[in-house]
Structure 1
Amino acid sequence: MKSAYANVFGGRQGLIGLLILAALLFVVFPLALDAFRLNMVGKYLTYAFVAVGLVLCWGYGGILSLGQGIFFGLGGYCMAMFLKLEASDPESTAIQSTPGIPDFMDWNQITELPAIWVPFQSFGFTLLAVVAVPAIFALVIGLAMFKRRVGDVYFAIVTQAIAAILTILIIGQQGLTGGVNGITDLRTLLGWDIRSDEAKNILYFVCAGLLIACILIGRFVLSSKLGRLLMAMRDKEERVRFSGYDVSAFKIFVFCLAAVFSSIGGAMFTLQVGFMSPSFVGIVPSIEMVIFAAVGGRMSLLGAVYGALLVNFGKTMFSESFPELWLYFMGGLFIVVVMFFPMGLAGLWQSHGRKWLARLPGVSGKPARPRPTPEPSHTRGAGGSIEPSPAGRLENTP
């Protein structure tokens, strides 16, 4: 029981941090924010899935992926395909040349539903695809790269190239993907209107619950033998390989796990925002997702969530108040963090926050009390003599 407590919750301090985050997500934000702002926070939390995956992949595994938007987009498109098919029933599309297919297909003179879309008429298959499609895609990339010992900056460049290729492919296949506009006008989920404020509130809580579950899974992985091997590979990969471990297998696993986390975030983004487009798949959003993890702390699962919330909140605030300067503000924020706080908000907390809290009364679990003044071991009398006291101490004699 104690082992499970330590592995899943991270011990007492880990549990306290998790409870604080849960209180913010499930109590403070819903009570303090209106429906519009709460939905915005829910959108920010979908990016936190990617940041949590990057902590595992980059922070602990040493695998810097600049293409996590690939998996975010794959999960989002899988969910969007199901929602679009539900919104394209024959009654709703009766004015089209071919009723029963998405509108952008009708615009592109497609007369029947493409075979790749047919399985997404099932919600069960869609949920499976949200997890399986990015995992398989990441597995293919991992086998091609890690088995050949491609890593470090070369792997980052390859993931960028794949993100760019996938974006071009999505835009070019307009009849299958909606092109540059993406898949829009998503209305219902199994007949449930996802556009209402009540539905968005429910989806927010579902998103927050799934995020907490991903954090717990990440903690379990990091506290296991696999987590220790990941850190060993990051620091001394050759030593781990010479010890008889298959380094590429561990890298593939953590890369696939980060891809699945990103895909879940993409699926929740589609549900909460109501569309998915190639603008979330390319290089720029992928680099922004790395910034979330860097600002929050690439060695902290909880810090990644705070980083995603802080950066996106700053992005929204600066773009509303300073529409011409907000990009400079965001760039300045990232530069300050990288130069002065390389371990992000979590590192800042480790180095300064805990020391400050330790000075507060009762934080350490013991009542604060003044430090007693030490008694002198001996004193000298008027004649300069030193004599022992009855209790065995040396004290002054009058």
Structure 2
Amino acid sequence: MRNNLANSWKVYAGFAIAAIVLFAIAPAMLSDFRLNQLGKYLCFGIVAVGIGLAWGRGGMLTLGQGVFFGLGAYMMAMHLKIADAELRGQDVPDFMQTAGLTELPGYWVPFTSPVVTIVGIVVLPVLVAVVLGLGVFKRKVKGAYFAILSQALVAAFATLLIGQQKTTGGSNGLNYFRSFFGLALNDPANRRLLFFITAATLLIIVAITRQIMYSRYGELLVAVRDQEERVRFLGYDPANVKVVAYAVAALFASIAGALFVPIVGIVSPNDIGVVPSIAFLIGVAIGGRTTLLGPVLGAIAVAWAQTSLSENFPSGWTYAQGLIFILVVGFFPAGLAGLGAVARRRKKRSDTHPSATSDIATITTDAGTVPAEGAKTP
């Protein structure tokens, strides 16, 4: 009981510290530009939380999170472009006018409504993940085969977007957003509000994920990862367990994509393709995929390093990123967050088994040092 109470206080303290950093220290110390960059990194952290749940706890190597990130991002971008066109008194967005279109394509029309847009961001990626997950996991596809399949899916999605030049902007994507649900994006106060929304969303998602991890379902998910056949023998369907985690990860990625668009001001196939999907995974691996905060901190650190180092070494960052990933996977498979756990285990072993042991155990008495009972003598 006392341990549970202590752990609860640690969790509350951790969330309080994170809230102070995000809502007080960061806005006070960072410029508007750097704060906007941090908001972008937090979006990547939201994606990483879902990957940590699906991959770290469920053993599903999700190399295709760019699909769900892109779905949320493009749905939000479509609504923002329609809203901007309405502010200018036009029927279609500017890039469609350049392409010669005079009316919205059929699949754009629902996103004229902000309510439908929000519902779509939440529901559509989950439906896609459920359908895909049932089709894959029911056939017992896992491991490298699932990773290749998910990566092929994201490559196909990016190619599809590039081919729709007139309706999705093609390789240029959608950009130059002026407003976000009635808020002018060129106003620094509104951009700070957008950062606060993103930070609050990240904290809420981390809290939800913690509840999932330490629930009965979370234990079952880990059991499926480690002993899938034994779980099936106990009467559970591992496919259904995996689908739930995969759908939750898809939901988080979609929400992150929707927040990414107004923060960055652009979304294109380059933001959701194979390379970004792998970058999401690298951040999670470096931070520690089996932990709660490791994926978030790893994703933010990798994104920050990419921005900082690519400014000075534009051609060398990709090699550095690959090298870091190889080092972590090869020598620190639990990620940087796992180093603390390793240190604690070693300390516990040293406390339990003192290092001052030898072949001849001794006891110090008033008469001197004599062999202990049961010890071997020369």
Range of TM-score over shorter length = 0.7 to 0.9
Instruction: Give the corresponding residue for 1:81.
Output: 78
Q: Does the 8 Å CA contact 2:178/2:186 hold for their aligned counterparts?
A: yes
Instruction: Give the corresponding residue for 2:56.
Output: 59
Q: Residue 20 of structure 1: CA displacement?
A: 3.2
Q: Output the CA distance in 1 between the equivalents of 2:329 and 2:336.
A: 11
Q: Tell me the secondary structure at the aligned position of residue 195 of structure 1.
A: coil
- CA-to-partner distance for each residue in 1:264-321, whole Å, 9 max, x for gaps? 1101101211121111221111000001110111011211111011111111111122
Task: Letter of the 1:299 partner, please give it.
Answer: T
Q: Tell me the secondary structure at the aligned position of residue 19 of structure 1.
A: helix
Q: 2:314 aligns with which of 297, 303, 323?
A: 323
Instruction: Give the corresponding residue for 2:34.
Output: 37
Task: Letter of the 1:39 partner, please give it.
Answer: N
Instruction: Give the corresponding residue for 2:14.
Output: 17
Q: Output the CA distance in 2 between the equivalents of 1:201 and 1:190.
A: 15
Residues 191, 354 of structure 1: alpha-carbon distance in 2 compared, 3 angstrom cutoff = farther
Instruction: Give the corresponding residue for 1:225.
Output: 216
Residues 100, 329 of structure 1: alpha-carbon distance in 2 compared, 3 angstrom cutoff = same
Residues 348, 26 of structure 1: alpha-carbon distance in 2 compared, 3 angstrom cutoff = farther
- CA-to-partner distance for each residue in 1:48-73, whole Å, 9 max, x for gaps? 11110011100000111100011011
Q: Does 2:152 match 1:161? A: yes
State the TM-score, normalized to the length of structure 2. Answer: 0.87
Instruction: Give the corresponding residue for 1:152.
Output: 143
Q: 1:206-285 residue pairs with structure 2 within 5 A?
A: 206-285=197-276
Q: Does the 8 Å CA contact 2:42/2:199 hold for their aligned counterparts?
A: yes
Residues 192, 353 of structure 1: alpha-carbon distance in 2 compared, 3 angstrom cutoff = farther
Q: 1:181 aligns with which of 169, 172, 183?
A: 172
Residues 10, 234 of structure 1: alpha-carbon distance in 2 compared, 3 angstrom cutoff = farther
Residues 32, 349 of structure 1: alpha-carbon distance in 2 compared, 3 angstrom cutoff = farther
Residues 108, 10 of structure 1: alpha-carbon distance in 2 compared, 3 angstrom cutoff = farther
Task: Letter of the 2:88 partner, please give it.
Answer: S
Q: 1:65-214 residue pairs with structure 2 within 5 A?
A: 65-89=62-86, 92=88, 99-214=90-205
Q: 1:330-345 residue pairs with structure 2 within 5 A?
A: 330-345=321-336
Post-superposition, which runs of at least 4 consecutive aligned residues in structure 1 deviate over 4 A?
353-356, 376-380
- CA-to-partner distance for each residue in 1:156-200, whole Å, 9 max, x for gaps? 111011101111111111222111111111111232102322222
Task: Letter of the 2:19 partner, please give it.
Answer: A
Residues 186, 329 of structure 1: alpha-carbon distance in 2 compared, 3 angstrom cutoff = same
* Structure ID, larger Rg: 1
Paired residues in the alignment total: 353
Q: Does the 8 Å CA contact 1:58/1:298 hold for their aligned counterparts?
A: yes
Q: Residue 338 of structure 1: CA displacement?
A: 1.9
Q: Does the 8 Å CA contact 2:54/2:246 hold for their aligned counterparts?
A: yes
Instruction: Give the corresponding residue for 2:295.
Output: 304
Q: Output the CA distance in 1 between the equivalents of 2:8 and 2:285.
A: 24
Q: Does the 8 Å CA contact 1:51/1:292 hold for their aligned counterparts?
A: yes
Q: Tell me the secondary structure at the aligned position of residue 150 of structure 1.
A: coil
Deviating more after overlay: 314-323 vs 179-188: 314-323
Q: Output the CA distance in 1 between the equivalents of 2:223 and 2:309.
A: 40
Q: Residue 378 of structure 1: CA displacement?
A: 6.8
Q: Does the 8 Å CA contact 1:314/1:330 hold for their aligned counterparts?
A: no
Deviating more after overlay: 176-185 vs 104-113: 104-113
Task: Letter of the 2:343 partner, please give it.
Answer: H
Residues 250, 312 of structure 1: alpha-carbon distance in 2 compared, 3 angstrom cutoff = same
Instruction: Give the corresponding residue for 1:396.
Output: none
Q: Residue 355 of structure 1: CA displacement?
A: 8.3
- CA-to-partner distance for each residue in 1:123-159, whole Å, 9 max, x for gaps? 1111111111110111111111011111111111110
- CA-to-partner distance for each residue in 1:331-361, whole Å, 9 max, x for gaps? 22222222222111210122238989xxxxx
Task: Letter of the 1:230 partner, please give it.
Answer: L
Q: Tell me the secondary structure at the aligned position of residue 166 of structure 2.
A: helix
Structure 2 residue ranges without an equivalent (≥5)? 348-362, 368-378
Q: Does the 8 Å CA contact 2:85/2:93 hold for their aligned counterparts?
A: yes
Instruction: Give the corresponding residue for 1:48.
Output: 45
Instruction: Give the corresponding residue for 1:365.
Output: none
- CA-to-partner distance for each residue in 1:229-283, whole Å, 9 max, x for gaps? 1010000000001111011111111100000000111011012111211112211
| RMSD (Å), alpha carbons | 2.4
Residues 6, 137 of structure 1: alpha-carbon distance in 2 compared, 3 angstrom cutoff = farther
State the TM-score, normalized to the length of structure 1. Answer: 0.83
Q: Does the 8 Å CA contact 1:318/1:329 hold for their aligned counterparts?
A: no
- CA-to-partner distance for each residue in 1:81-105, whole Å, 9 max, x for gaps? 111001112x626xxxxx3101222
Q: Tell me the secondary structure at the aligned position of residue 344 of structure 1.
A: coil
Q: Output the CA distance in 2 between the equivalents of 1:82 and 1:135.
A: 19
Q: Output the CA distance in 2 between the equivalents of 1:232 and 1:258.
A: 18
Q: Does the 8 Å CA contact 1:45/1:309 hold for their aligned counterparts?
A: yes
Identity across aligned pairs (percent)?
44
Q: Does the 8 Å CA contact 2:58/2:221 hold for their aligned counterparts?
A: yes
Q: Output the CA distance in 1 between the equivalents of 2:305 and 2:80.
A: 31
